[in-house]
Structure formats: C-alpha cells, structure tokens
Amino acid sequence: MQMETIEVSEAQTHLRELISKVIKTGSQIILSENEKPVARLIPVGGRIPGLHSGSIWTSNDFDEPLPDEFWVVGE
C-alpha cells in the first residue's frame, strides 16, 4: 500500500485532492506537524479491487479429497 507524508498546513489547502487520491488508489496519507506524525487519512470500508494482487495463492490440489490418514485420530 502506498503511503505519503504531508504537513497539516499543506494538507489544508489540498484536502479535496488528497481525499480523492485516497479513495481512488487506496493509499494512506500521514499528516504531520513539525515532522511528527499526528493523523492518518485512509479509505473507509469497502474493498479496493487488485490492491493486494498476488498476495495469496491457492494450490492446484485445493479441492482434492484429503487422504484417509488425515481423518484417522492418533491411536
């Protein structure tokens, strides 16, 4: 996820553009005062398609039956 840091004073003059960027890209914007982080601007709810593309995978045999040994409780 893309993250950007911007001073609060600058964010005040570009708030609409920053909100639009967060909504469209799913990025986070850290607001800072005197180079100290004070707040974070993030999208609210909802899923952003493709945001974590390639993060997970499913094996080719995912839906194959499990072997009998799997179901046998230790004797």
**Span 14-44, pLDDT tens digits:** 999 999 999 888 889 999 999 999 999 988 8
More confident residue, 36 or 50: 36
Percent of the chain at pLDDT > 70 equals 92
Task: Tell me the sheet residues that pair with 3.
Answer: 28
- Give pLDDT, residue 52: 78
Check which CATH number belongs to the domain holding 30 and give it: 3.40.1620.10
Length of the chain: 75
Flag whether the pTM goes above 0.75. Answer: no
Q: Which domain holds residue 5?
A: 1-45
- Residue 61 domain-assigned (yes or no): no
Whether residue 69 lies inside any domain: the answer is no
Is residue 39 in a domain?
A: yes
For the chain, the domain total comes to 1
Per the domain annotation, does 58 fall within a domain?
A: no
> Is residue 16 assigned to a domain?
yes
* Distance separating alpha carbons of residues 26 and 16, to the nearest angstrom: 15
Identify the residue with better confidence: 15 or 49: 15
Question: Mean pLDDT for the chain?
Answer: 87
